[in-house]
């Protein structure tokens, strides 16, 4: 099939590369000339394990192309996927301006029969608007069906999540679109949920909010464990063994971040409010999440007393490992609070320092993970990168002024850290 993707972020680029790899002809439309020129050469704008290789392989095979113009690649497409960003506005709603803008550009260029499907996470009701724009802007004679095919990939494991998803959700306007989308997804072996737009859209928000809720629940149990002297990791392991609960997404930490959970929880609260339902359960999920970020600063104050003038080394900035993404990373709030208290920060992240410099321009960045320890009074682990798990404690010990570690991801075995001469503060233990 011939497919066009609008957008080359995590969702657009990964899904486009995977569909190309499955043998389809895939065009990707962007709006930044420099990024498109780079993509044509196989230089990708994001860090995602394996993606660069997959993109290059499919460019070389002539199955994956990049362009700035809609008019070249919409008319020939069997399926057009909208995969542009929907960031939160200041009021908490999802910003739909790009989705609606590209819908009109797609509509104007339609030819023959085309299925237009949204991959972007959009609030219930948006797809009806997109469908209307397509119908109003399409040339006479062009036929269009509309669908919502939400994406569930995680950054860091995006390719395998796309190739082996838990399910494929297809919310289509008619059976012709449904059949075409089922055919397109045929090589991907996963159960398919066939439904209408509204349901497909809500599945995505409800899934992400439930996962965020699970993390906040684990964080609340971690707080309670600290107060009771219980070991949260054992408690969570114990409850996760119940198949009805499951062990995934129960790791306590500095709170969830990234481009999806914070935004989607906020959007679902707003969607509910707009429909006169107070989703207070999710408001508490957000409260617990921001408490966890403040809690790291409280622990730093407890370890050091006054923070003014103290040197704190930060290991990890990205919202999770194996990504360079800084969107809504706990590190942003935590470092800002530490700096406000007068601490001097030196940070290292294997991939995210480039992006971090734009949101945290005033702190010092180290050239490697050991340099953050130079003269430090405290070390705080904020992202669970494998490199940090294997750190040489002897080397750290030589460089630090005071031997103290806050491990917000529980990556170390407390007894080993204490044996090496450090004071250790984890989460929930």
- Tell whether residue 253 is a contact of ligand UDX (CB under 6 A): yes
List the one residue from 12, 85, 123, 258 that touches ligand UDX (CB under 6 A). Answer: 258
Compare residues 232 and 363 and give the one whose CB is closer to ligand UDX.
232
Which of the ranges 103-111, 249-257, 298-306, 347-355 carries the binding residues for ligand UDX, by CB under 6 A? 249-257
Q: Least distance to ligand UDX from the beta carbon of 237, Å?
A: 12
Interface with ligand UDX includes 155 (CB under 6 A)? yes
At its nearest, how many Å lie between ligand UDX and the CB of residue 119? 10
Q: CB of residue 101 vs ligand UDX: minimum separation in angstroms? A: 23
Is 320 a binding residue for ligand UDX by CB under 6 A? The answer is: yes
The Cα-based distances of 281 to 15, 175, 205, 225, 270 in angstroms read: 33, 37, 14, 21, 13
Using the minimum distance from each CB to ligand UDX, give the nearer residue, 124 or 215.
Answer: 215
Closest approach of Cβ 382 to ligand UDX, in Å? 10
Residue 257's contacts (CB-CB under 8 Å, 6 or more residues apart) are: 319, 320, 327, 328, 329, 330
What is the rounded distance in angstroms from the CA atom of residue 429 to the CA atom of residue 426?
Answer: 6
Nearer to ligand UDX, 152 or 279 (CB): 152
Tokens 């995602």 identify what position?
48
C-beta of 81 vs 261, nearer to ligand UDX? 261
Angle at 158 (CA atoms; ends 156, 161), nearest 5 degrees? 125
Binding segment toward ligand UDX, per CB under 6 A, in 34-42, 99-107, 132-140, 146-154: 146-154
Positions in 355-394 near ligand UDX (CB under 6 A): none
β-strand partners of 5: 28, 81
Quote the tokens at residue 166.
């838990």
Query: In terms of DSSP H, where are the helices of 229-352?
Result: 232-240, 261-274, 280-304, 330-340
Q: Are 5 and 29 spatial neighbours (Cβ–Cβ below 8 Å)?
A: yes
For ligand UDX, the closer CB: 344 or 410: 410
Q: Which two tokens stand for residue 206?
A: 């409800």
Asked if 5 is part of the footprint of ligand UDX (rule: CB under 6 A), the reply reads no
Burial of 186 (0-12, 13-18, 19+ CB in 10 A): exposed
DSSP string computed for 130-199: HHHHHHHHSPTT-EEEEEE------TTSHHHHHHS-S-EEEEESSHHHHHHHHHHHTTS-S-EEEE-HHH
Using CB under 6 A, pick the residue from 260, 271, 347, 363 that binds ligand UDX. Answer: 260
Q: How far apart are CA 139 and CA 327, in angstroms?
A: 39
260: annotated active-site residue: yes
Residue 251 binds to ligand UDX (criterion: CB under 6 A): yes
Q: Considering the rule CB under 6 A, would residue 153 count as an interface residue with ligand UDX?
A: yes
The label of the residue with tokens 């405290």 reads 378
Site membership for ligand UDX, residue 249 (CB under 6 A) = yes
Residue of 11, 260, 314, 334 with catalytic role = 260
152 binds ligand UDX (CB under 6 A): yes
Cβ proximity to ligand UDX, 30 vs 330, nearer residue:
330
> Residue 381 pairs with which residues in a beta bridge?
315, 407
215 binds ligand UDX (CB under 6 A): yes
Contact between 154 and ligand UDX by CB under 6 A: the answer reads yes
Q: Which is nearer to ligand UDX, 311 or 327 (CB)?
A: 327
Q: How far apart are the first and last CA of the chain?
A: 53
Q: Is 327 in the site for ligand UDX (CB under 6 A)?
A: no
Task: Give the C-alpha separation, 246 to 194, whole Å.
Answer: 25
Angle at 132 between CA 17 and CA 176, to 5 degrees: 60
Structure token digits, residue 164? 């082996």
CB of 271 to ligand UDX, least distance (A): 17
To ligand UDX, the closest distance from the beta carbon of 373 in angstroms equals: 23
Q: 74 or 250, CB closer to ligand UDX?
A: 250
Residue span binding ligand UDX (CB under 6 A) among the ranges 103-111, 188-196, 258-266, 298-306: 258-266
Query: Is residue 250 close enough to count as binding ligand UDX by CB under 6 A?
Result: yes
Shortest Å distance, C-beta 395 to ligand UDX? 26
DSSP 40: H
Q: What span, in angstroms and rounded, lies between the C-alpha atoms of 243 and 310?
A: 46
* Least distance CB 250 / ligand UDX (angstroms): 6
Classify residue 151 by burial, with Cβ atoms within 10 Å: 0-12, 13-18, 19+. Answer: buried
Binding positions for ligand UDX, rule: CB under 6 A: 151-155, 208, 211, 215, 249-251, 253, 256-258, 260-261, 319-320
Active site members: 260
């Amino acid at each position: 099939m011939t497919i066009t993707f609008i957008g080359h972020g995590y969702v657009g680029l990964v899904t486009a590369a995977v569909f190309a790899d499955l043998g389809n002809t895939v065009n990707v439309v962007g709006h930044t000339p420099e990024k498109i020129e780079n993509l044509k050469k196989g230089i990708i704008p994001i860090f995602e394990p394996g993606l660069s290789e997959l993109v290059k392989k499919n460019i070389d095979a002539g199955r994956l192309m990049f362009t700035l113009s809609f008019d070249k690649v919409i008319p020939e497409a069997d399926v057009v996927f909208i995969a542009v960003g929907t960031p939160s506005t200041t009021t908490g709603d999802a910003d739909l301006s790009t989705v609606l803008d590209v819908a009109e550009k797609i509509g104007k260029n339609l030819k023959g029969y085309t299925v237009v499907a949204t991959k972007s996470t959009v609030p219930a009701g948006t797809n009806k608007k997109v469908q209307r724009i397509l119908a109003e802007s399409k040339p006479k004679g062009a036929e269009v069906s509309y669908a919502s095919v939400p994406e569930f990939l995680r950054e860091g494991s995006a390719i395998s999540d796309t190739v082996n998803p838990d399910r494929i959700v297809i919310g289509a306007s008619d059976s012709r679109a449904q059949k075409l989308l089922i055919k397109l997804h045929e090589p991907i072996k996963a159960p398919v949920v066939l439904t209408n737009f509204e349901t497909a859209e809500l599945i995505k928000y409800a899934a992400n909010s439930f996962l965020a809720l699970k993390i906040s629940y684990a964080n609340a149990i971690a707080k309670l464990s600290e107060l009771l002297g219980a070991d949260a990791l054992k408690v969570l392991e114990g409850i996760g063994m119940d198949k009805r609960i499951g062990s995934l997404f129960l790791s306590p930490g500095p709170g969830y971040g990234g481009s999806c959970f914070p935004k989607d929880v906020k959007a679902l609260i707003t969607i509910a409010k707009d429909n006169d339902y107070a989703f207070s359960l999710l408001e508490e999920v957000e409260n617990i999440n921001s408490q966890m970020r403040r809690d790291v600063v409280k622990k730093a104050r407890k370890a050091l007393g006054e923070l003014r003038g103290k040197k704190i080394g930060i290991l990890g900035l990205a919202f999770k490992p194996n990504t360079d993404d800084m969107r809504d990373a706990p590190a942003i709030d935590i470092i800002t609070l530490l700096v406000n208290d007068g601490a001097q920060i030196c940070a290292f992240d294997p991939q995210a320092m480039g992006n971090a410099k734009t949101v945290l321009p005033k702190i010092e960045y180290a050239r490697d993970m050991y340099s953050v320890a130079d003269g430090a009074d405290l070390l705080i682990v904020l992202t669970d990168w494998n490199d940090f798990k294997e750190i040489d404690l002897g080397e750290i010990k030589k460089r630090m002024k005071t031997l103290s570690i806050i491990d917000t991801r529980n990556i170390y075995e407390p007894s080993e850290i204490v044996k090496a001469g450090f004071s250790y503060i984890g989460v929930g233990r």
